[in-house]
Amino acid sequence: MKFRLGFLASHNGSNMQAIIDACKNGRLKSVPAVVISNNSNSGAIERAKKEGIPYYHLSSVTHPDKDALDKAILDALKKHNVDIVILAGFMKKLGHLVLEEYKNKVLNIHPALLPRYGGEGMYGRFVHEAVLNAKEKITGVTIHIVNSEYDRGPIINQVEVRVFENDTVETLAKRVLEVEHDTYVNTLKMIEDGKIRL
Ligand code: GRF
């Protein structure tokens, strides 16, 4: 199966780029349809421009009213006939309109083995810091379906990453991010091949 992918990203967008690259090199059949960012200066928007993918800056700046923002995001996804919504470092909570219309079709990636090291405030370096402080030997990457609770939707794929004794937040974050890129692409491949059903 082949899907139209809608990306929501707040910052760098390296996960998004890994998926776009996989669509371009034939590893995935799906098509990057639209990029939406709440940050007009994000790397994600720069990448969209470079790739010639339609993009939108939609945020509390463009839409101060929460419901209006939710509706604007939904309209952009629908305008581009998006089948699957990919959260790739998206730092905002999605509204109920998008979550209802795309029930079980919104995916997120988290840089740890959920349900551990997830929830509000657990993002970026805070996740890796907590993993190191707890002296974990194993961390990892989780892909899950998004519902209205932070990091609590059904898990569809997890991959472990080893923590080394001399790891710093930076070295661990780098190693996990590389695995994130492969894991997001591989998970989408399994969805395309019908091995994971949304
Ligand atoms: C990744 O670590 C992802 O797990 C988290 O945000 C980060 C996004 O990185 N949700 P990038 O923008 O894809 O480079």
For the stretch 106-147, pLDDT in tens is 999 999 999 999 988 899 999 999 999 999 999 999 999 998
Of the listed 11, 80, 110, 128, which one is catalytic? Answer: 110
Centre of ligand 1 from the C-alpha of residue 112, in Å:
11
Please say if the pLDDT value at position 175 is more than 80. yes
For the stretch 7-53, pLDDT in tens is 999 999 999 999 999 999 999 999 999 999 999 999 999 999 999 99
The pLDDT score that the predictor gives to residue 151 is 81
Centre of ligand 1 from the C-alpha of residue 15, in Å:
6
pTM, full prediction: 0.96
**Residue 15 near ligand 1, beta carbon < 6 Å:** yes
Specify burial of residue 116 (Cβ count, 10 A radius: 0-12, 13-18, 19+): middle
* DSSP structure string for 102-139: TTT-EEEEESS-TTTT-STT--THHHHHHHHHTT-SEE
Centre of ligand 1 from the C-alpha of residue 64, in Å:
25
